[in-house]
Amino acid sequence: MASLLKLSTAVRRQTLLAGSRAGSTYAAAFRTALSNEPATEVTTLDSGLRVASESVPSQVATVGLFIDAGARYEDKHSNGTANFFEHLAFKGTTKRSQSALEQEVESMGAELDANTGRDQTSFTARCFSKDVPKLVEILADVVQNPRLEDADVKRAREVILGEIEQVDAGNLREVVFDHLHSTAFQGTSLGNSVWGPSSNIRSIKADDVRGYVNSHYKAPRMVLAAAGDVRQSELEKLAEKYLGKVESTFDGKPPQLSAVRFTGSEVRVRDDSIPLAHVAVAVEGCGVSGSDAVALSVASALIGTWDRTFGGGVNNASKLAVASAHDKLCHNFESFNLNYRDTGLWGIYFECDPLQCEDMLFNVQNEWMRLCTMVTDGEVERAKRQLKTKLLAQLEGPQSICEDIGRQVLHLGRREPLHDLERRIENVTASNVRDVAMRYIFDRCPAVAAVGPVENLPDYMRIRSSMYWTRL
């Protein structure tokens, strides 16, 4: 019997050693593969416009213009103007009618898209790599020579008001996050909605949009980014040719981000006709370039994301997911870590039955306190692997790569290489996670936004009192 026990122990030891060696070999191969990824090239033209690209072996490419213009650069009177221009951008230019623009794009099999966020606006085109020069010219024409006729403004106003009604009625997640920003950053521009209030939309005129574009769409605030079978030198020439006349000086003071301030507070919109309660709870996070950004992302990955439709059920690695599946606490939840230039929001969003709000929030806050005090090395390792998988999966194909390039170069002036990001994630330890959780979560005033049948959601003082443990 003793000899059998010794043999069994030896076999287990050899198995563990073999597994460790295999894992080490895989990790080394993974890092080597990341380090061999094409570098992102960035050039700044004399005008201040930045050109960035990454060569991707693909017949399809994505090219885009990314501009420092969004809801954060608006005041209460102009809020909604950036999004208004997004709806007008492809309605024609002084050189092309709307029908001519659409026919030209469709004849190349290309797709145009525009997106407005809180701190940036983007205009992108997906096309064959050989058509990149033509699409750069079209995008340059769109942002430099918008037609902005009164009839188009009137139609865009009707479309935007209709979209706001649809969002309010059907996309409650977006509604909750708008409320979360408005209460967390109340009194600052980061609390502005991208859509803007309906009263502003009804009063915006063509001259208002034209003035906004003229004051914000300047060369130092723009990035031309591309991913696909493109060459940086050729993209620079295209930028000089088609965007060389973009002004680099400002009439008066350049647009600046106003100071941001986080306020622990809440907003509740009770509506018992809605079947599920939609709740978001968040604390202030750090900016996109903050030293704690990666550790907070790992902490968010540790909490995880779960939906009733997912497989695994009670066998999920996330303890909150296990509790949600076993006790039917919610229909879904997602932990998030939103990063802006100078601040962020770290928290959770969930949808649950009306009478489960209290129990779900109790489990959420218990898990947050566990992050601060007793998270283990094994949990952190699992979260790091999941975070790497998620980040790499988001960079599949030229479109997502182009968007990542534009966003990072606009905010940071460069794009972080994947192997550097992987190394930063790998260097995060359980101690790091506990430390950042103590700084950002423990005994901090949260911001709460809730929509729907939320009578069962605890009052704010109870939520606040559960943001710390009094344990020896």
* Residues with Cβ within 8 Å of residue 449, at least 6 apart in sequence: 176, 177, 179, 180, 183, 266, 267, 268, 279, 280
Between the two ends of the chain, the Cα-to-Cα distance in Å is 46
Domain boundaries, given as residue ranges, for the chain:
37-244, 266-466
* Residues with Cβ within 8 Å of residue 404, at least 6 apart in sequence: 394, 395, 415
Indicate the pLDDT class of residue 7, thresholds 50, 70 and 90: very low
Q: In the prediction, which pLDDT does 250 show?
A: 84
Q: In the prediction, which pLDDT does 255 show?
A: 83
Segment 348-359 shows an average pLDDT of 97
Span 63-118, pLDDT tens digits: 999 999 999 999 999 999 999 999 999 999 999 999 999 999 999 999 999 999 99
pLDDT at 343 over 50: yes
Indicate the pLDDT class of residue 465, thresholds 50, 70 and 90: very high
Lowest-pLDDT range, 76-90, 121-135, 243-257? 243-257
Instruction: Say how many residues make up the chain.
Output: 472
Segment 413-427 shows an average pLDDT of 94
Segment 346-365 shows an average pLDDT of 98
37-244 and 266-466 share one fold: yes
Segment 360-389 shows an average pLDDT of 96
Segment 128-138 shows an average pLDDT of 96
Q: In the prediction, which pLDDT does 315 show?
A: 84
Span 170-191, pLDDT tens digits: 899 999 999 999 999 999 999 9
**CA nearest neighbour of 446 among 284, 301, 330, 319:** 284
Segment 376-393 shows an average pLDDT of 95
DSSP E strand stretches across 183-246: 222-228
Residue 147 CA to residue 208 CA, distance in Å, equals 13
Q: In the prediction, which pLDDT does 258 show?
A: 83
Mean of all residue pLDDT scores within the chain: 91
Indicate the pLDDT class of residue 17, thresholds 50, 70 and 90: very low
Question: Fold for domain 37-244?
Answer: Cytochrome Bc1 Complex; Chain A, domain 1 (3.30.830)
Within 13 Å of residue 176, how many CA atoms lie on the same side as its CB? 24
Q: Order across the sheet with 41-44: list the strands.
A: 41-44, 50-55, 222-228, 60-67, 121-128, 111-116
Indicate the pLDDT class of residue 168, thresholds 50, 70 and 90: confident
Span 187-244, pLDDT tens digits: 999 999 999 999 999 999 999 999 999 999 999 999 999 999 999 999 999 999 999 9
Lowest-pLDDT range, 13-22, 69-78, 145-154, 208-217? 13-22
H or E element, residue 131: none
Question: Which pair of structure tokens corresponds to residue 427?
Answer: 């260097």
pLDDT at 472 over 60: no
CATH architecture assignment, domain 266-466: 2-Layer Sandwich (3.30)
Question: Which pair of structure tokens corresponds to residue 263?
Answer: 């306020």
Span 281-299, pLDDT tens digits: 999 999 999 999 999 999 9
Q: Which residue has the higher pLDDT, 248 or 51?
A: 51
Residue 396 CA to residue 400 CA, distance in Å, equals 6
Contact 175, 168 (CB under 8 A): yes
Active site residues: 86
DSSP string, 37-95: SPPPEEEE-TTS-EEEEEE-S-SEEEEEEEES-SGGG--TTTTTHHHHHHHHTTSBBSS
Segment 443-462 shows an average pLDDT of 97
Measured over the CA atoms of residue 144, residue 148, residue 149 and residue 151, the dihedral's sign is positive
Segment 369-387 shows an average pLDDT of 96
Question: Which pair of structure tokens corresponds to residue 371?
Answer: 């992050």
Q: In the prediction, which pLDDT does 311 show?
A: 79
